[in-house]
A and B are shown apart, each in its own frame.
Chain A
Amino acid sequence: MARTFTGALRRRTLLASAPLLAAPAALRAQERFPSRPIEVVTHAGVGGGTDITARMMMVQAPAEFGQELVVVNRVGGSGAAALAYAASKPRDGHTLILVTQTHLLTIMRGRAQGIAYDDIVGVARATEDPQVLMVGKASPHKTAQAFLAAAKEQKLKFGTTQVGGVDHLAVFGFARQAGIQQPTIVPFRGGGDIAINLVSGNIDAALLNPSEPEAQIRAGDVIPLLTLHEERIATLPNVPTAKEVGFTSVHATVRGFAVLKGVPEDRLAILEEKLVKSMSSPLYRNYLDSTGQARSSVAGRTVWQAQLDAFNAEGREALAALGVAR
């Protein structure tokens, strides 16, 4: 009896004092955001490409935010675990998701447990790695025109990663836009495997980020034919863009920061500003340069959100056409 009484009493005191405590907290929150360490959730394991991007960005970020940043690795379900983790946190801007196209695909396929595409709010883009059409040195098609002409006549073999994954969709979209036959897909575990099989001639072509087979391109074992980007890439100045050859096809591997819908507008603006600023540091620029990605990779909300929207629209259509949507 006595215990319940004290319990009730304690609760009441707490309730009574709550507004007193909350008022300055709210004030402080308006003055200062972030007020505690920011978590950056990634679906990549420690050491994965996305994880490394997060860690490179974070070298400068704590100084900008005046708070620590912590990488949280939630591997599993192709981004579903990372999204679920973010959804379990308050939407106050202290939880950032490092979003890739893989996350969007997972949402499109209805595997993100209650998270819809509209819940994703882009904050800043971190990397944009254009896709480039490449062939092995033994390929009979040495120019983009010759390759496209041949690909209209016959069904070629393209190396990609996971069937139904981002690379597969890019190949599908590219083939449609270029008006070539939908190629046979040979899936591999990663870009390195694809590069090796291009050299040995097991596959006819692949869409790869220019940094993946860099050594092979330098050695002349892999030949880049066509850049699927708005403009030519600095490291491949002699490779024409799709537009120059006569059709529009833009595909890239992108990573960037996002939050879940519900974060106040003023906080979004702070996040955007400071993230973009910390990714303009020499160290991060050096990271972009050394991995062959353009410095224009870093972009704010408008550009990033538009790109996410475009991928969402294209991806849905492609998944339906491929019959892998669920």
Chain B
Amino acid sequence: MLEFLGGVQAIMTGELLLVVFIGTLLGIFVGALPGLSGSTTSALLLPLTVTMNPVTAIAFLGAIYCAANYGGSITAILINTPGDPSASVTAFDGYPMAARGEAGRALGMSAVASTIGGIFSVLVLVVATPLLSRFAYSFGPPEYFALAVFGLSMLGAVGGAGALKSLIAGCLGVLLACVGMDLTTGVERFTFGLPDLTDGISFVPVLTGLFAVAELIEQATRLDEKVERLPMAAARLPSVADFRKAGKSIGIGSVLGTFIGVLPALGATTAAIITYNEVRRFSRHKEEFGRGAIEGIAGPEAANNSAVGGSMVPTLALGIPGSATTAIILAGLLVQGVRPGPHLFTEQPQFLYAVFGSMLAANLIFLVLGLFLAKLFAMITLIPNAILWPAVLFCSVIGAYAPNQAMGDVWTMLVFGIVGFLFRRHGFSPAPLVMGLVLGQLVEESLKQSLIIFDQRWMGFLERPVAVTLFAVTIVLFVLPLLFQGYRAMRARAAR
């Protein structure tokens, strides 16, 4: 810890702090814009960092990474368009809050939860990286399969549209995850001969379609309605009571996000989704979820930012990146001549602590900026719909096209806009679909890989302690509420 403080001191040079500040500002900006993500930005700026000294370069990339994850929530809350895939869950409850005129409350909560999650994970990174990095080795395909099943076990419960409808939407999501070339056979599935579908359905256009385009169509059907808006309420920040209510969610999000972030195959998006499930499971106000629950923002936002610190663990200690952005940070490290690995912690601790310190600084900077800008950004919800939503569509089209420069992605977005609109009309929630899409690929691939490893013996799973534990937790958490319900019903009957 003392060495860490030394590292923090090293960052206190004005120049480095300025670089971190610029990185943070840039990160929030690109994170918020659909189509520009933290990973795209750091890739574009990678050649620029080559000319910097190693600490400055990594501090800059790290600041962009931290801030972009937070920035994604701004547009998710304000206009139902996740600026970053990891913020898609934030839109589930953030947008309903903004639509109610509580944008400032939602944005403020997102900033605070993100910062707490981010700082928690950096502290874990400082204390436990060498220990945690070995943990990544104990996660093979069978363990990932168990984790994916755990995540999917809540499929019927999310969305608040009733178990049957949620399951239908979830299965559709899993089915969509099957599109593309199958990893284990090399055969194309459901691509209809379209080259755009060979690599599967891209995640970002589906999200933008389901959320933003669907909302645009929905708004278009209610053009003649006058919406009453309260300018002052929109900019109000969360109260102490809000934080008391969300404290548990932030805690769950920080721990789960760090844990999932450490696993190289999973990232911030999965962390946010699994956290959303768990926060809802342990909430006393389950009925609020999907309708603007402040806990539904706090948990996932804490999780996707703590996943940032978590994913730096395998990157720095094993040289194995856990996400697209850490892959670029890794490339940045290598170009600077810094070789990642366990030895980094004994040979170059000063360097590491400066990096951690800059991530910490980035988190604090976006907290201040976030709270300050929340009031300003909240005003976006006051823009008349006739101007706001066409502008959103414009941004969405660019956002869908930009990452892969493929028109196919724009069509995907528009198709899912219609799907999202029909979903709403018929009382389905997009939440389980998104969950199925994210976890579907993982559950299928890890199962197939496991079976190859086990020589097609299903019993092989029982020989893996971590997998068995995860399965047991899934079953217990799944069955307990049913038992409780039965017990309560019996008591009620006995009392009568």
Least Cβ–Cβ distance between B360 and chain A, in angstroms:
24
Task: Report how many A-B pairs have Cβ atoms within 8 Å.
Answer: 150
Some 10 contacts from A to B, beta carbons below 8 A apart, are A47-B40, A55-B43, A73-B403, A74-B405, A78-B199, A162-B181, A202-B453, A215-B320, A218-B339, A291-B334
A76 and B408 in contact, given A203-B453, A324-B186 (Cβ under 8 angstroms): yes
Which residues B190-210 have CB closer than 8 A to chain A?
Answer: 195-196, 198-199
A195 and B320 in contact, given A46-B43, A214-B339 (Cβ under 8 angstroms): yes
B47 / chain A contacts, CB cutoff of 8 Å: 55-56, 58-59
Least Cβ–Cβ distance between B111 and chain A, in angstroms:
27
Cβ of A33 under 8 Å from chain B = no
Cβ of A88 under 8 Å from chain B = no
Q: Is the CB of B404 within 8 A of A196?
A: no
Which residues B380-413 have CB closer than 8 A to chain A?
Answer: 403-406, 408
CA distance A165 to B336 in the complex (A): 31
CA distance A115 to B264 in the complex (A): 37
Stretch at the interface among A127-135, A180-188, A248-256, A296-304: A180-188
Other A-B pairs, 7, CB within 8 Å; known A76-B196, A192-B314, A196-B140: A46-B44, A73-B404, A74-B406, A163-B183, A187-B184, A200-B140, A218-B339
Closest to B50 in A: A283
Q: Is the CB of A187 within 8 A of B183?
A: yes
CB 8 Å contact bits of A49-81 with B (1 = contact, 0 = none): 001100110110000000000001111111011
Q: Is the CB of A47 within 8 A of B184?
A: no
Cβ of B39 under 8 Å from chain A = yes
A192 and B320 in contact, given A187-B183, A219-B342, A290-B335 (Cβ under 8 angstroms): yes
Q: Is the CB of A202 within 8 A of B320?
A: no
A157 and B453 in contact, given A163-B183, A290-B334 (Cβ under 8 angstroms): yes
CA distance A76 to B197 in the complex (A): 7
CA distance A199 to B317 in the complex (A): 14
Least Cβ–Cβ distance between A171 and chain B, in angstroms:
13
Stretch at the interface among B84-92, B112-120, B324-332, B416-424: B324-332
A residues bordering B, Cβ < 8 Å?
A: 45-47, 51-52, 55-56, 58-59, 72-78, 80-81, 84, 111, 113, 157, 162-165, 168, 184-189, 192-193, 195-197, 199-200, 202-203, 211, 213-216, 218-219, 221, 283, 286-287, 290-291, 324
B residues bordering A, Cβ < 8 Å?
A: 39-40, 42-44, 46-47, 50, 136-141, 181-186, 195-196, 198-199, 264-265, 314, 317-321, 324-325, 327-328, 331, 334-337, 339-343, 403-406, 408, 445, 449, 452-453
CA distance A45 to B50 in the complex (A): 20
CA distance A215 to B137 in the complex (A): 13
Closest to A201 in B: B140
Q: Is the CB of A75 within 8 A of B199?
A: yes
Least Cβ–Cβ distance between A245 and chain B, in angstroms:
28
Top 5 nearest A-B pairs by Cβ distance? Answer: A164-B186, A215-B341, A77-B195, A47-B43, A192-B320
Least Cβ–Cβ distance between A310 and chain B, in angstroms:
22
Q: Is the CB of B405 within 8 A of A72?
A: yes
A165 and B186 in contact, given A47-B328, A56-B47, A200-B137 (Cβ under 8 angstroms): yes
CA distance A218 to B264 in the complex (A): 19
Q: Is the CB of A81 within 8 A of B195?
A: yes
Q: Is the CB of B264 within 8 A of A192?
A: yes
A189 and B183 in contact, given A72-B405, A77-B195 (Cβ under 8 angstroms): yes
Among B42, B183, B264, the residue within 8 A (CB) of A47 is: B42
CA distance A58 to B47 in the complex (A): 9
B140 / chain A contacts, CB cutoff of 8 Å: 196-197, 200, 202
Among B40, B186, B320, the residue within 8 A (CB) of A163 is: B186
Among B195, B314, B339, the residue within 8 A (CB) of A80 is: B195
A211 / chain B contacts, CB cutoff of 8 Å: 334
A216 and B406 in contact, given A55-B46, A286-B335 (Cβ under 8 angstroms): no
A216 and B186 in contact, given A75-B406, A192-B264, A283-B50 (Cβ under 8 angstroms): no
**Which residue among A163, A164, A165, A215 has the maximum number of chain B CB atoms within 10 Å of its CB?**
A215
A290 / chain B contacts, CB cutoff of 8 Å: 334-337
Q: Is the CB of A76 within 8 A of B404?
A: yes
B406 / chain A contacts, CB cutoff of 8 Å: 74-76, 81
Q: Is the CB of A45 within 8 A of B342?
A: no
A218 and B195 in contact, given A55-B47, A195-B320, A200-B140 (Cβ under 8 angstroms): no
Among A46, A47, A165, A215, the residue within 8 A (CB) of B340 is: A215
Least Cβ–Cβ distance between A101 and chain B, in angstroms:
15
Closest to A186 in B: B452
CA distance A81 to B391 in the complex (A): 29
Among A52, A162, A164, A192, the residue within 8 A (CB) of B46 is: A52
Closest to B44 in A: A46
**Which residue among A52, A214, A287 has the maximum number of chain B CB atoms within 10 Å of its CB?**
A52
A196 / chain B contacts, CB cutoff of 8 Å: 136-137, 139-140, 264, 318, 320
CA distance A157 to B47 in the complex (A): 39
CA distance A102 to B39 in the complex (A): 23
Closest to A111 in B: B195
B318 / chain A contacts, CB cutoff of 8 Å: 192, 195-196, 215-216
Least Cβ–Cβ distance between B454 and chain A, in angstroms:
10
CA distance A59 to B335 in the complex (A): 13
A77 / chain B contacts, CB cutoff of 8 Å: 195-196, 198-199
Q: Is the CB of A45 within 8 A of B335?
A: no
CA distance A184 to B455 in the complex (A): 9
Q: Is the CB of B195 within 8 A of A200?
A: no
A46 / chain B contacts, CB cutoff of 8 Å: 39-40, 43-44, 403
Least Cβ–Cβ distance between B188 and chain A, in angstroms:
9
CA distance A80 to B197 in the complex (A): 11
Among B50, B139, B186, B408, the residue within 8 A (CB) of A162 is: B186
A216 / chain B contacts, CB cutoff of 8 Å: 318-319
Closest to A109 in B: B186
A283 / chain B contacts, CB cutoff of 8 Å: 50
Least Cβ–Cβ distance between B245 and chain A, in angstroms:
38
A81 / chain B contacts, CB cutoff of 8 Å: 195-196, 406
Q: Is the CB of B181 within 8 A of A47?
A: no
A214 / chain B contacts, CB cutoff of 8 Å: 319, 339, 341
CA distance A213 to B339 in the complex (A): 11
Among A52, A78, A188, A286, the residue within 8 A (CB) of B198 is: A78
